[in-house]
């Protein structure tokens, strides 16, 4: 019997978790869930590498909840994320599972992040929760103040580990693991595995299961369009794009904070409703922008890679690369913000000649690009830049060859330049016809 339900039942999850999965309306496990859930249930440590939107959150939450022991009022699972926004989103998923399982008041979870009243938090921790979700810094603070003990924890989750490393929080994770059991189950999830993370893994993991869900580069519902910038202003081209796409929500990526600030200002000047997210914003500003995004105030968000990785923005219909990133992985992360959960999505990238190398690499890996332009509220077909280069090269070669065949005169008379130019054009046309005939 090969029903969708039986695919989850094959994991040997309790009936209460099968019921929760049904209420979550999950039809079948994603690739990362299929590979990770059985390993977590066996108590094995896992390093899972998969892109944003691959279903990894439930790959660890479902099996962890399956093992929760309500007879013990102690911390059983610690789940860490690099930003308070990501931690809050994880906590919301935890609360949703508790509600769907009808276990409120029985399964206890607490959110521990900065920007909240610390004393209130301490009061809430007088009785140990089963599950802790939070940022490493805030959890470490409370452990150091002896308000919280995580030594009883059976499993420790590090979500978005590469971002944790980039933002400098991996040291706090290190200090938390020193205060945990030696044989704690470590579940690490990361979109990329930089060298510095490998050293960290070696310190804590003897024989981890390494699971990599290959990037298929884009879901089948994803469309990739390329627009040659051709010395135009980025904001002007994006304004033209905005007249065609009418997005539910579009993220516009830049390659740095300075570019993000400048582009956001230029787009606002042109009348677009634009939100701005980058690492230079204070936590308060970031919180305000995210709230405004949730309230659908903006149709466009200008963002940097780090900022966009640190939050999960729902309902993104379009990704626009104002500047193409320098690495393939960053392109994949960016476009992965859209076409999630079966939705359709479009990625539109402005490119220059120096971006062709990366575009070629992505094409070699199976990505299909459409070359377009946009004018007066309409999409126009366009030739790829390299085709234009080939055409230019051919024209230049014809000109050189034609000039060789122009009859040079010894005695210079008025208008000789025009006469020679006409000769050159006539010979060039004839040569061009010969080239075409040969191709045929």
CATH number of the domain that residue 103 is part of: 3.40.50.300
242 and 349, same domain (yes or no): yes
Task: Give dist(CA 164, CA 249) in Å, integer.
Answer: 27
Asked if residue 78 lies in contact with residue 158, where contact means CB atoms within 8 angstroms, the answer is: no
* Length in residues, the chain: 440
> 302 phi and psi, to 5 degrees?
-90, 130
70 and 132, same domain (yes or no): yes
Does residue 392 lie in a domain region? no
Domain count, the chain: 3
206 and 228, same domain (yes or no): no
Does residue 308 lie in a domain region? yes
Instruction: Name which of 52, 338, 347, 367 is nearest 217 in CA terms.
Output: 367
61 and 106, same domain (yes or no): yes
Does residue 241 lie in a domain region? yes
Domain that holds residue 184: 4-212
Which pLDDT tens digit goes with each residue over 127-168?
A: 899 999 999 999 999 999 999 999 999 999 999 888 888 778
Asked if residue 347 lies in contact with residue 318, where contact means CB atoms within 8 angstroms, the answer is: yes
Tokens at residue 234, please? Answer: 């980025």
Which pLDDT tens digit goes with each residue over 39-58?
A: 999 999 999 987 666 788 99
CA atoms within 13 A on the CB side of 272: 28
Q: Which of the listed residues 212, 235, 259 is the one where a domain comes to its end?
A: 212
Task: Calculate the CA dihedral of residues 19, 219, 344, 274 and round it to 10 degrees.
Answer: 100
301 and 335, same domain (yes or no): yes
Which pLDDT tens digit goes with each residue over 181-230?
A: 988 999 999 877 777 888 888 888 877 888 887 655 445 557 899 999 98
60 and 157, same domain (yes or no): yes
What is the model's pLDDT at position 410?
52
Of the two residues 288 and 321, the one the predictor is more confident about is: 321
Does residue 217 lie in a domain region? no
Does residue 395 lie in a domain region? no
288 and 313, same domain (yes or no): yes
DSSP structural state of residue 101: T
178 and 230, same domain (yes or no): no
User: Is residue 101 over pLDDT 70?
Assistant: yes
User: Is residue 258 over pLDDT 60?
Assistant: yes
Confidence class for position 438, pLDDT limits 50, 70, 90: very low
Average pLDDT over residues 253-258: 91
330 and 193, same domain (yes or no): no
169 and 227, same domain (yes or no): no
Of the two residues 215 and 248, the one the predictor is more confident about is: 248
Q: Return the percentage of the chain with pLDDT > 90, whole number.
A: 40
Residue with tokens 């990739």: 224
Which pLDDT tens digit goes with each residue over 350-360?
A: 999 899 999 98
User: Is residue 100 over pLDDT 80?
Assistant: yes
Does residue 254 lie in a domain region? yes
202 and 241, same domain (yes or no): no
Q: How far is CA 334 from CA 86, 119, 205, 252, in A?
A: 17, 39, 30, 9
């Amino acid at each position: 019997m090969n029903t969708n339900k039986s695919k989850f039942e094959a994991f040997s999850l309790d009936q209460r978790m099968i019921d929760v999965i049904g209420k979550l309306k999950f039809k079948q496990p994603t690739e990362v869930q299929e590979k990770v859930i059985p390993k977590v249930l066996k108590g094995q440590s896992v390093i899972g590498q998969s892109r944003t939107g691959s279903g990894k959150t439930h790959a660890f939450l479902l099996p962890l909840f399956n093992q929760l022991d309500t007879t013990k009022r102690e911390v059983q699972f610690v789940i860490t994320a690099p930003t308070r926004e990501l931690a809050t989103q994880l906590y919301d998923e935890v609360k949703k599972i508790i509600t769907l399982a009808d276990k409120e008041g029985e399964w206890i979870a607490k959110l521990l992040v900065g920007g909240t009243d610390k004393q209130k938090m301490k009061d809430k921790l007088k009785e140990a929760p089963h599950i802790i979700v939070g940022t490493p810094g805030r959890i470490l603070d409370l452990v150091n103040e002896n308000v919280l003990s995580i030594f009883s924890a059976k499993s420790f989750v590090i979500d978005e580990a590469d971002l944790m490393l980039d933002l400098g929080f991996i040291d706090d994770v290190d200090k938390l693991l020193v205060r945990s059991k030696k044989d704690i189950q470590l579940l690490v999830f990361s979109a990329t595995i930089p060298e510095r993370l490998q050293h960290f893994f070696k310190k804590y993991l003897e024989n981890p299961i390494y699971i990599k869900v290959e990037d298929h580069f884009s879901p089948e519902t994803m469309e990739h369009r390329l627009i040659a910038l051709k010395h135009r202003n980025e904001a002007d081209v994006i304004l033209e794009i905005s007249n065609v796409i009418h997005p539910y929500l579009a993220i516009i990526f830049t390659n740095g904070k300075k570019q993000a600030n400048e582009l956001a200002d230029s787009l606002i000047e042109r009348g677009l409703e634009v939100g701005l997210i980058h690492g230079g914003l204070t936590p308060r500003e970031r919180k305000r922008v995210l709230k405004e995004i949730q309230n659908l105030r903006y149709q466009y968000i200008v963002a940097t890679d780090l900022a966009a990785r640190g939050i999960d923005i729902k309902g993104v219909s379009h990704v626009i690369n104002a500047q193409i990133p320098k690495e393939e992985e960053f392109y994949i992360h960016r476009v992965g913000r859209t076409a999630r959960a079966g939705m359709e999505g479009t990625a539109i990238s402005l490119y220059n000649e120096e971006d062709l190398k990366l575009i070629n690499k992505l094409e070699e890996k199976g990505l299909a690009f459409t070359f377009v332009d946009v004018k007066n509220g309409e999409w126009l077909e366009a030739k790829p830049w390299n085709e234009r280069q080939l055409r230019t090269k051919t024209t230049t070669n014809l000109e050189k060859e034609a000039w060789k065949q122009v009859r040079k005169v010894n005695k210079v008379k008025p208008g000789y330049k025009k006469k020679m130019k006409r000769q050159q054009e006539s010979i060039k046309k004839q040569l061009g016809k010969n080239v075409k005939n040969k191709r045929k």
